[in-house]
Structure 1
Amino acid sequence: MALAVVLQLLTLCELPPPFCLVPPASYPKPWLGAQPAAVVTPGVNVTLRCRAPQPAWRFALFRAGESEPLLLRDVSLELAEFFLEAVAPAQGGSYHCCYRRLDWGPGIWSQPSDVLELLVTDLLPRPSLVALPGPVVAPGANVSLRCAGRLPGMSFALYRVGLAAPLQYRDSAQRWADFPLLGARAPGTYSCYYHTPSAPYVLSPRSEPLVVSSDDSSSLDYTQGNLIRLGLAGLVLATLGVLVVLDCCSRSSALDQALP
């Protein structure tokens, strides 16, 4: 039985047995990128580029959920390009690529590249906006507003109600961007949005508004303390005034009794 399996495998090899090799698992995987971007609007031409660590013979582009390659390219180079013309939203999804060499057996491919998420849409998902550590700022403290989207590598803008232009702008490699605010100037109503960092630009709608307020409890306690101190001072002054009046009255009475 084992001999029959070996003979069957040898008949599948395109080259003599010494060259029908399986690449080691540690063999470097290729890299997959998208031009002009991984997030595009419908109708844009997209090129997916698969780059191998050394010259290869054949490249294959795979899409998640499909067992057969979506596209094949035979090139004796380190780079193969796969063209997707006038992409539609249905063409969005997860892609990866592999490569192989002539001295590998049939059906033997390299380790797959990291997954590339291609998004074809007119509008990015709405971001969220939160205040860290919280939306109530104590006197003298600072606050940071975090605008979080669904995709990494986007450009973020923070808006404040009453201002037409963005208050702050950030490019981030993460799925979010943080906007620091000084505590004294923090109170207000804010919103944010994000977009692709290069053309063709795809925008998100604005986040829900976030209200940042100041914590007046400490200042209120300070005011109440001042009022209490002023009240005590007034009470002391009133008491002293009463004592002075009583002393004057007693002196006047004693003087009247001493006169004939």
Structure 2
Amino acid sequence: MGEDRLLGLGTGVVTPLLFRDVSTELAEFFLEEVTLAQGGSYYCRYRRTDWGPGVWSQSSNVLELLVTDQLPRPSLVAMPGPVLAPGANVSLRCAGRMPGMSFALYRVGVATPLQYIDSVLPWADFLLTGADAPGTYSCYYHTPSAPYVLSQRSQPLVISFEGSGSSGYTQGNLIRLGLSGLVLICLGILVSFDWHSRSSAFGGLRPQQNRV
């Protein structure tokens, strides 16, 4: 028996976008000259000709169609968090908007990707281990069929060990205080030298006595 298949656009859309009357288990729907307005959530349903009027199958899983000249920026988060106990491991999740993407993790100061993952999910998890974890990271993704069409890079994410930030801040303050003290000592020496020079100059100019 033949089957009717339809393609519905968006969730809650009552009117089908396209129909196909086929005799096989497969139907293909073509969207020609796709525009930005055609981006959205797509699903399909089918019905058999011997079913009652208005009776259709359940909807398929929703397919997201993204129409854009550039892939959106992914997010990058640390699990369990960006501040670690010394020697602990951390997982960085780079998340886009669509499944089936290829993800790359970068570290500031390193030109090539640290890790590269092909994922069937809309995200990929990168594991960083132990002492090598601290640093500043970012990620991007692309479709497997177009590896040179890259998304925007994520915002940078800083990974650090507990106490490393505060100790660095304290050390910086000590250095600044030491430099300030050195400057004050140098200024004091210059002022003292100038005062002694002026005192010696005035001491040599004694008034001469009038001789009769």
1:166 is matched with which residue: 89, 113, 125? Answer: 113
CA distance in 2 between counterparts of 1:133 and 1:72 reads 48
Kept in 1: contact 2:64–2:98 (CA 8 A) = no
Q: How many residues align?
A: 164
The one-letter code sitting in structure 2 at the alignment partner of 1:58 is D
- Say if 1:101 and 1:157 are closer, same or farther in 2 by CA, change over 3 A: same
Aligned to 2:71: 124
CA distance in 2 between counterparts of 1:93 and 1:201 reads 24
Aligned to 2:145: 198
CA distance in 2 between counterparts of 1:103 and 1:114 reads 25
Work out whether 1:101 is the aligned partner of 2:43: no
How far apart are 1:200 and its partner, in Å? 8.0
Stretches of structure 1 lacking an aligned partner (at least 5 in a row): 1-54, 221-260
Who wins on radius of gyration, i.e. which is larger? 1
CA distance in 2 between counterparts of 1:131 and 1:69 reads 42
Once the two structures are superposed, the pairs formed by residues 14-25 of structure 1 within 5 Å of their partners are none
How far apart are 1:78 and its partner, in Å? 0.8
Off by >6 Å, runs of 4+ in structure 1: none
Aligned to 1:189: 136
Kept in 2: contact 1:158–1:168 (CA 8 A) = yes
CA distance in 2 between counterparts of 1:162 and 1:186 reads 14
Work out whether 1:155 is the aligned partner of 2:102: yes
CA distance in 2 between counterparts of 1:156 and 1:177 reads 7
- Normalization by structure 1: what TM-score? 0.56
Over the matched positions of the two proteins, sequence identity in percent amounts to 74
How far apart are 1:201 and its partner, in Å? 6.6
The Cα RMSD (Å) is: 2.3
CA distance in 2 between counterparts of 1:195 and 1:83 reads 24
Work out whether 1:61 is the aligned partner of 2:12: no
- Normalization by structure 2: what TM-score? 0.68
**SS of residue paired to 1:90:** helix
- Say if 1:61 and 1:187 are closer, same or farther in 2 by CA, change over 3 A: same
